[in-house]
Structure 1
Amino acid sequence: MTDTPAPAPAAEFWEARYRDTGRVWSGRPNELLVQEAAELAPGTALDLGCGEGADAVWLASRGWRVTGADISATALERAAGHAAEAGVGDRVAWERHELGPSFPEGSFDLVSAHYLQSPVALDQQAVLRAAARAVAPGGTLLVVMHAGWPSWQTEPPFDAVFPTLDGLLAELALPEGEWSVETRRTARRPSVSPDGVEGFREDHVWRLRRV
Structure 2
Amino acid sequence: MHNPGPVHIVGAGPGVGASVARRFARAGHAVGLVARHPGRLAALAEDLAGDGIPVESHPADAGDPPSVERALAALAERQGPAEVLCFSPLPDIGLIKPVLETGAGDLAGALALNVVGAAAAVRAVLPAMRAAGRGTLLFVTGGAVERPNPDRAASAVAGAAERAYTALLSQALAGTPLHAAHLVVVGAVGDGLHHEPGTVADRLWRMHDTAEPYGVLA
Same fold (TM over 0.5): yes
Deviations 1:90-130 (A, max 9, x none): x1101101132312204311001125533363512222112
Q: What TM-score do the two structures reach when normalised by structure 2? A: 0.54
Please state how far the C-alpha of 1:72 moved relative to its aligned partner: 0.6
Look up the match of 2:58. Answer: 95
Look up the match of 1:25. Answer: none
Q: Does 1:167 align with 2:129?
A: no
How many residue pairs match? The answer is 159
Higher strand share: 1
Unmatched 5+ stretches in structure 2: 96-108, 195-199, 213-218
Look up the match of 2:101. Answer: none
Once the two structures are superposed, the pairs formed by residues 1-211 of structure 1 within 5 Å of their partners are: 42-52=4-14, 53-88=18-53, 91-99=54-62, 100-103=65-68, 104-105=72-73, 106=76, 107-119=81-93, 121=109, 123=112, 124-133=114-123, 134-135=125-126, 136-137=129-130, 138-148=134-144, 155-156=151-152, 159-160=154-155, 161-163=158-160, 167-169=164-166, 191=188
Q: What TM-score do the two structures reach when normalised by structure 1? A: 0.56
How many angstroms apart in 2 are the aligned matches of 1:132 and 1:176?
12
CA contact under 8 A between 1:57 and 1:86: conserved in structure 2?
no
SS at match of 1:163: helix
SS at match of 2:22: helix
Identity %: 17
How many angstroms apart in 2 are the aligned matches of 1:95 and 1:190?
29
Unmatched 5+ stretches in structure 1: 1-39
Query: Relative to structure 1, is the Cα distance of residues 74 and 186 closer, same or farther in structure 2, using a 3 angstrom cutoff?
Result: closer
Look up the match of 1:29. Answer: none
Higher helix share: 2
